[in-house]
Each structure stands twice: as C-alpha cells, then as structure tokens.
Amino acid sequence: MMPIKVEYFEAYPELMPGIQFFSCSAIGATLRPAHCGARHDRACRVRSVDDDSDQAFTICRQCPVGARHAGKEAESPLAPVSPLPAFVCSRCSRGTMRMIGGQICVSCYNREQEARKGRNARGTKPITFQPLRRHHVAIDDGRRVRWLAFEVQNGHEPLVRALRGKQAAALVEERPGRVAWDPDLGFHYVDQEGAVLTEDPGAKGEIRYRPRQPGEAPARVAPPTMMIEPGTLRTWLEVSDCGDDLTTDWQWQSFGCARCRRGVLRARRRSGCVQCRCAACGVRSE
C-alpha cells in the first residue's frame, strides 16, 4: 500500500511559531497532529454506532492518517471498526435483547417457523408472511473471497448476516466466474477454461464453486453486492419513492458502504429529513 503523504505547515507563525498543522479533507478543518490522533482514539472508543454523543468523531475511525498520529500502524486499512449493532434484527431492523442465532428477533423467527409449518398459532395458513428467497453475498475475510447464501426476505438481510461478528470481513463485488448464456442452461457461471460451474453447499451458509458434472444443475447467477456512499443513498431516498416507508427508527438498506466496505447502510427520517449511516465505520449523512 502506498504511503499517504501529509503536508505540514505553520498556520500561525506569529502566534504559534514552530507548531505544525495540516489540512484534513475528511472533516474540512486544519488540525494539529496531536488533535488528529486524539480524534482517532476517541472514535475507536465509541461504544456503538447508535451512540449519538460521539458521532462527530466516527469518521476518523478508519483514517490511516489519524492512526499514524495516534501512534498506530499508519498504513493499515484495518483500523479499528465498530461491529454491526449486536441487538438489531437483521430482517426487520427492530432492536431487541433476544436474538435467535444472533441474527433475527423472536418475532421474525416465529413467523418463519409458522410459514414453514404452513399454519400459525390459530391453526390457519399464514397469508402475510413474505416468502424466503435465496440471496448470495461475497466477502473477503482477509485470506480469501468467500461466497455465502442465505434464505432471507429482503436484500439487506444477507449483507448483515454475512458481516455480523466478522470484524475483518469486507464486502466485495466479485463473482465466482464469468457469466455465460446457453439456450438449455440459461444464464450460468463458467470458469476461466469455459467449464460450467455448480455449487457445493458448505457450513454456515458458505458455498463453493467447481466444474459441473453431468446431471448437476449449473450455478445460479446472482447480482453482485451494491456499494454506495451514505450521502448518495440519502439523496436517492429523498428524490425517489424508496424513502416513503422510512420511520424515525434506523432501518437496514440493501447497500454496502462504499467507504469502508465493512458495513451495511441504514436510514431513517427525522423532522422530515432523511438521515443515512454506515453501521460499521459510522460515516453519516443528513
């Protein structure tokens, strides 16, 4: 990784001779290195991405310049990152102190079990439950790219489930192979040699791709994870009808954070204005 160059200068030579400053583009301010390092340290101590008291500092959490001024590994792209909210359901976005499998709330779990059985507590067939669909997501765990598949209700749930509890994992837009078309097979993946790929299911939702044998189904083509900046998402939710359902509570969105690639964006509406936030690095737009 190329070293990040910082130009230092004396901002106030008459009043503060010999004191070095630099221009921080992230927050649009002129800072002393010690002040920058203190901001980075404070950002790393934020208890939760829902802790509004220190949100002004969370943009400094992954900054390599801040890490350098704090005496840490200056060029590390893995500066401390807050994990995804531990007690927010990956499906409905509601906060809860009891999570099934560390992912979904009791209510969502019960509704899913009723749908699988074909009857609810009253013995009637559930009619409002949104069917589960298989979604794919790819992450880089620092050693290799892994592809995961989950049975979920929406586009944000697989992203949350793939990242939650994995401090070093990053979302990637990589595909397992090249997309090809065949009249009999439809759209499918092929490897570099042109061999049709198939999926082998593994543990914890992981899937591996290998050349298909006769009679095996081809690997299902899935859209890659979409990455977007919080500010861009906020603008989109404001000008489109996609933000009509936002409430005053934070809700997951079906986008990864383009800035850190380690978080899933959330949004809410407060006083008529849309607010967006990354659930990992804390970058916020409002």
Residues 1-20 have pLDDT tens digits of 445 678 899 888 888 888 99
pLDDT of residue 83: 63
Dist CA 100 CA 198 (whole Å): 31
Least confident of 56-60, 143-147, 206-210: 56-60
pLDDT of residue 73: 60
* Residue 149 pLDDT level (bands cut at 50, 70, 90): very high
- 17 class by beta-carbon count within 10 Å (0-12 exposed, 13-18 middle, 19+ buried): exposed
Q: pLDDT tens for residues 192-216?
A: 999 999 999 888 789 999 999 999 9
Asked whether residue 174 carries a pLDDT value surpassing 60, the answer given is yes
Question: Phi/psi at 200 (nearest 5 deg)?
Answer: -115, 115
- When the pLDDT of each residue in the chain is averaged and rounded to a whole number, the result is 85
Q: Please choose, from the candidates 252, 78, 223, 62, the residue with its C-alpha nearest in 3D space to the C-alpha of residue 160.
A: 252
- 240 class by beta-carbon count within 10 Å (0-12 exposed, 13-18 middle, 19+ buried): exposed
Residue 24: count of CB within 10 angstroms of its CB: 19
Asked whether residue 48 carries a pLDDT value surpassing 60, the answer given is no
Owner of token pair 């699988």: 116
DSSP three-state, residue 82 = coil
Partner residues linked to 285 by β-bridges: 276
Q: CB within 8 A of 245, min separation 6: which ones?
A: none
The 3-state DSSP composition of the chain as helix, strand, coil percent (nearest 5) reads 20, 30, 50
* Residue 76 pLDDT level (bands cut at 50, 70, 90): very low
Q: Please choose, from the candidates 210, 221, 225, 197, the residue with its C-alpha nearest in 3D space to the C-alpha of residue 137.
A: 225
Q: Please choose, from the candidates 229, 231, 253, the residue with its C-alpha nearest in 3D space to the C-alpha of residue 242.
A: 253
Q: What percent of the chain has pLDDT over 90?
A: 45
Pairing of strands 206-211, 197-201: antiparallel
